Structure 1
Amino acid sequence: MQHNFDLLVIGDVNPDIVLGPLDTPPAFGQREQLVDTGLLTLGGSGAIMACGAARLGLKVAFAGRVGDDEAGRFVRTALTARGVDTDALRVDPVLPTPLTVVVTRGDGDRAILTSPGTLSAGGPDDVPEALLTDSRHVHAASYFLLPRIADALPELLAKARASGATTSVDTNDDPSGVWAPEGIEATLAVTDFLLPNAREALALAHATASADTASVSAGTDPLDEAAAALAARGPHVVVKNGAEGALIHDGRTLLRIPGTPARPLDTVGAGDSFDAGFVAAFLRGLPLPEALEFAAACGTLSTRAHGGTPAQPTWDEARTAVARNGKNS
């Protein structure tokens, strides 16, 4: 089937204000603390993933919702400038565009504060059926931040699959800490690739555990066990584990790759750039082990600058990094 877009991303978009590193707790009482870096940049897991995929040469469309405000105009301009089609980025006449403040630490960790704005209002009507059926791959981001989209995902992804598309989901964090809303198993059943980080994989596996989950041998690494359990729900499970590397479980076998030595300047958005690299490599026809290595290189390269999008690599840059890592291993 002929598709006009390589990738449709359904997800969140907002300005990110990235501050840090802050190596002491935030001080209340109207104390002012100084940090080395402050940056206003494009944020949102879905938006960063879309930009990374466009940077890698894919034709990308984005479906989401922003407010009728300066922040909404900022993110639309930023997406368009990076080659992402924003015709399906709707404007909410009442609610504001989401806004996120990211406070980083020197150890690579970060705190994320988000004002949700339009996130709770975004729903299935924001995803044009024409895009679902006209895209080779559909990726959904920030499952727990978009409750109305999450409820509709089983139907949306099933419709995309019926038109020949493959699908992926990156749930990202669950601010509620529940991790198992009604309908998530139906979503996993129509997801080709689940793309959590290690902490998210462990939380999702624990929340969705049941007696029919695939059994694993005693003494298995908890992350391997979590990937196996989630893969038993239907998707290939691709887990990002920072400096420890990444793994993929197809329901039968597990493959791990080691981390790439790096001195990251800023890890904001690295997981989303990993997602973009994996989908781009898969759509280019790379075998899954090679797609995993390519994705890891994309995530690592994205940490060369502050913010989620400024250092996202091109296809050739990522391929060069993979080849260099192979020689050094």
Structure 2
Amino acid sequence: MATSDFDLLVVGDANPDVILSGAPRRPAFGQREELVEAGHLVLGGSGAITAAGAARLGLRTAFAGRVGDDAAGRFVLDALARRGVDVSACVPDPGAPTAITVVLADGPDRAILTAPGALDRLDPADVPPELLRGSRHVHVSSFYLQPKLAAGLPGLFRAARAAGRTTSLDTNDDPAGRWRGLEEVLPVTDLLLPNDREALAIAGRADGDLEAALRDLAARGVTAVVKRGRDGALSLDGDPVAVPAPAATEFADAVGAGDSFNAGLLAARLRGLPLRRCLEVAVACGTLSTRAAGGTAAQPTWEEALSS
């Protein structure tokens, strides 16, 4: 196996998040102005938040994606670089604007509105082969927001595996609600990292049986690690492995908590920890990230994650 320059390569989405806390469930149209508790402009995108969290946990991390050649893109690249993430493979695209997401947060729940901008222009060919081969693990986020990347993802993951690298995928939500297109990629994915709703949808389990969904996914060639919010995490190691979430002593919002969970899980796995301990670290990282608004402001260090 070749030596690696990076522990983790994240391929996926990066954008500014505009987070409005205390947002109404039904915003008033008709040019009415409503006041909310707080507003924050922060680094967003599942891939970007995962990359930032991994770097915070001590992993040598690179990010590959597309942003616009605009102020929002420069904001994203600067935010990642300041967190220690290598962004030399992130493409500033002059042909499309940077994606922007508005998050309407109401306690632990939220509505998410995204203008995709350059996200759907990301292509597997944007990932330098030497970067793919030079990273111990390759993680991809937001499968359904990036159709070109999704179409070529089986080939990208096969190339990573041929180089002796491991792979993971967080599909995130499917805005179309169809949950299609994963047949070829799951068998070349080591870890699938959905939340419970996503796991049931991907497995086609209308009965809500989460453990059965995990077994269905295992039969399709992938180990699923399911994020369950305040209920912790669930996976299979022959038998189910469930880890509860610690009580959150401080809570601002849950934006990006699942992405911080991803970072913790991958950091623990790349350190060779057993599955249960990986889940404990991941759940701790997700919980600790909720202490401040947005996905990255309260991401923990490795020492904080272990002591939580």
User: Which band: TM-score by shorter chain?
Assistant: over 0.9
Quote how far apart the aligned CAs of 1:261 are: 1.4
The alignment status of 1:164 with 2:150, answered yes or no, reads: no
Indicate which of 293, 317, 320 corresponds to 2:280.
Answer: 293
Indicate which of 231, 242, 249 corresponds to 2:236.
Answer: 249
Contact 2:200 2:208 in 1 (8 A): no
Quote how far apart the aligned CAs of 1:253 are: 2.3
Q: TM-score, length-normalised on structure 2?
A: 0.97
Indicate which of 240, 244, 247 corresponds to 1:258.
Answer: 244
Cα distance in 1 for residues equivalent to 2:123 and 2:135: 19
Stretches of structure 2 lacking an aligned partner (at least 5 in a row): none
The one-letter amino acid paired with 2:283 is: A
Instruction: Within 5 Å, give how 1:1-329 maps onto structure 2.
Output: 1=1, 2-106=3-107, 108-181=108-181, 184-206=182-204, 222-250=209-237, 252-262=238-248, 263-321=250-308
Aligned residues: 306
Question: Deviation digits for residues 84-125 of structure 1, max 9, x if unmatched?
Answer: 00000001111000000000012x110000001001111112
The one-letter amino acid paired with 1:101 is: V
Quote how far apart the aligned CAs of 1:232 are: 1.3
Q: TM-score, length-normalised on structure 1?
A: 0.91
Cα distance in 2 for residues equivalent to 1:258 and 1:99: 33
The SS at the match of 1:88 is: coil
Quote how far apart the aligned CAs of 1:24 are: 3.7
Cα distance in 2 for residues equivalent to 1:31 and 1:258: 43
Quote how far apart the aligned CAs of 1:223 are: 1.1
Question: Deviation digits for residues 178-217 of structure 1, max 9, x if unmatched?
Answer: 0012xx121100101000001100111118x9xxxxxxxx
Task: Determine the structure 2 residue equivalent to 1:326.
Answer: none
Identity of aligned residues (%): 59
The one-letter amino acid paired with 2:303 is: D
The one-letter amino acid paired with 1:254 is: P
Quote how far apart the aligned CAs of 1:221 are: 6.4
Task: Determine the structure 2 residue equivalent to 1:216.
Answer: none
Cα distance in 2 for residues equivalent to 1:227 and 1:180: 17
The SS at the match of 1:85 is: coil
Cα distance in 1 for residues equivalent to 2:243 and 2:208: 15
Quote how far apart the aligned CAs of 1:264 are: 2.4
Cα distance in 1 for residues equivalent to 2:160 and 2:25: 46
The SS at the match of 2:164 is: coil
Quote how far apart the aligned CAs of 1:23 are: 4.1
Cα distance in 2 for residues equivalent to 1:57 and 1:186: 32
Which segment drifts farther, 72-81 or 228-237?
228-237
The SS at the match of 1:260 is: coil
The one-letter amino acid paired with 1:120 is: D
Question: Deviation digits for residues 232-280 of structure 1, max 9, x if unmatched?
Answer: 1111110000111110124x32111122212521100000000000000
Stretches of structure 1 lacking an aligned partner (at least 5 in a row): 210-219, 322-329
CA RMSD of aligned residues (A): 1.3
